[in-house]
């Protein structure tokens, strides 16, 4: 066969130490492939299908034929008389002028910081997504007040976590989407059921788990992977957990993440802008998956969320996430 086999421009192969995958960033598909197929795809632009398979054993040619046929019929790739141009497979730069892209603000029943001035600062920093976590039973009118504050800002997406109460029923919370279109996800903890509801663009997670502190986050691994273009790009060049992220913990301290120990001042005494512009705050931003131990051997490293708060080796900024149970070496 004197034709080239090309993956579509949105399909990116990634090699691990034992396995490989093709990440389809358009259809959100993570397709496992054997290493022999990855090696073939890696050089597929250097020669036609017939040329590249001519030096293989019959057994290898048969295997490659089956694998390529699968990719072709499942629309991961196509045959052409010329190799795909390099410019078409390069990921576009997904960057903007904002200083912060996403933020987390935590509250306990004894918190003294206020949401409104924090949202005002996030607005000035260009924040696009905000997660607000209340580790107690928040009255419905206070939840609506918080959502109203975000509604008046330029924040585009809002997620909320609260503990279940009599007035915060699933039906009542689902109805909030009509009043507050920016609300994209709502987690209701300490319920009697484990159910996920989806309605009108709102994802409502009802869980029996009791969430009263930040130590419930940081769970990652092969079951939580997403083949999404922004995550893939960010994972290649930055830390996909902490890049352009800021947090205020339940005591009002500014951090990279509420679960991390490092503090950069209290919101009552410092501004988020001054924190974001400091080198100390940004030092985690460049810890890519390719620099993290074990992760750098994983075929899922560009589609998996990182966690720097909980790591296997405390104090090592390049240690594997503690709550990841997937080992690419096995």
Q: What is the pLDDT along the chain (330 residues), one digit of tens a residue?
A: 689 999 999 999 999 999 999 999 999 999 999 999 999 999 998 899 999 999 899 999 999 999 999 999 999 999 999 998 877 778 888 888 999 999 999 999 999 999 999 999 999 999 999 999 999 999 999 999 999 999 999 999 999 999 999 888 888 898 999 999 999 999 999 999 899 999 889 999 999 999 999 998 888 988 899 999 999 999 999 999 999 999 999 999 999 999 999 999 999 999 999 999 999 999 999 999 999 999 999 999 999 999 999 999 999 999 999 999 999 999
Task: Write the burial class of residue 110 (CB in 10 Å: 0-12 exposed, 13-18 middle, 19+ buried).
Answer: exposed
d(CA 197, CA 277): 39
CA dist 182 and 267 (Å) reads 25
CA 162 to CA 279: how far, in whole Å?
34
- Residues 237 and 95 sit within 8 Å (Cβ to Cβ): no
The 3-state DSSP class for residue 303 equals: coil
Residue 266 DSSP label: B
* Cα dihedral sign, 168-255-115-152: negative
Name the token pair of 194: 């484990």
Burial class of residue 32, CB neighbours in 10 A (0-12, 13-18, 19+): exposed
CA 183 – CA 181 distance, rounded (Å) = 5
Task: Determine contact, residues 163/135, Cβ cutoff 8 Å.
Answer: yes
Q: Please name which of 183, 191, 73, 178 lies closest in space to residue 137, comparing C-alpha atoms.
A: 191
**What is the Cα–Cα distance from 32 to 158, expressed in whole angstroms?**
33
CA separation for the pair 273, 270 (Å, rounded): 9
């Amino acid at each position: 066969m004197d034709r080239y086999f090309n993956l579509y421009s949105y399909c990116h192969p990634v090699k691990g130490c034992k396995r490989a995958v093709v990440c389809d960033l358009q259809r959100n598909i993570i397709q496992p492939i054997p290493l022999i197929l990855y090696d073939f795809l890696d050089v597929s632009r250097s020669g036609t299908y017939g040329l590249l398979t001519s030096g293989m054993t019959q057994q290898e040619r048969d295997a490659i034929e089956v694998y390529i046929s699968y990719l072709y019929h499942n629309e991961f790739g196509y045959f052409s008389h010329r190799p795909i141009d390099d410019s078409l497979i390069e990921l576009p730069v997904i960057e903007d002028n904002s200083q912060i892209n996403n933020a987390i603000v935590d509250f306990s029943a004894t918190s003294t910081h206020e949401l409104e001035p924090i949202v005002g600062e996030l607005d000035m920093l260009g924040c696009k997504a905000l997660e607000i976590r209340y580790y107690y039973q928040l009255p419905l009118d206070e939840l609506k007040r918080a959502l109203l504050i975000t509604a008046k800002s330029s924040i585009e997406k809002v997620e909320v976590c609260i503990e279940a109460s009599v007035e915060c029923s699933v039906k009542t919370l689902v109805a909030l989407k009509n009043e507050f279109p920016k609300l994209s996800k709502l987690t209701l903890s300490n319920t009697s059921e484990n159910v996920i509801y989806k309605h009108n663009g709102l994802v409502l997670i009802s869980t029996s788990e009791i969430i009263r502190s930040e130590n419930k986050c940081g769970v990652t691994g092969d079951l939580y992977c997403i083949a999404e273009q922004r995550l893939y790009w960010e994972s290649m060049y930055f830390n996909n957990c902490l890049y352009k992220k800021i947090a205020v913990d339940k005591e009002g301290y500014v951090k990279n993440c509420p679960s991390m120990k490092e503090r950069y001042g209290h919101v009552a005494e410092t501004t988020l802008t001054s924190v974001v512009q400091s080198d100390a705050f940004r030092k985690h931003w460049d810890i890519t998956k390719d620099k993290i131990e074990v992760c750098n051997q994983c075929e899922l490293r560009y589609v998996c969320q990182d966690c720097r708060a909980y790591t296997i080796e405390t104090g090592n900024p390049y240690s594997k996430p503690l709550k990841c149970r997937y080992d690419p070496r096995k």
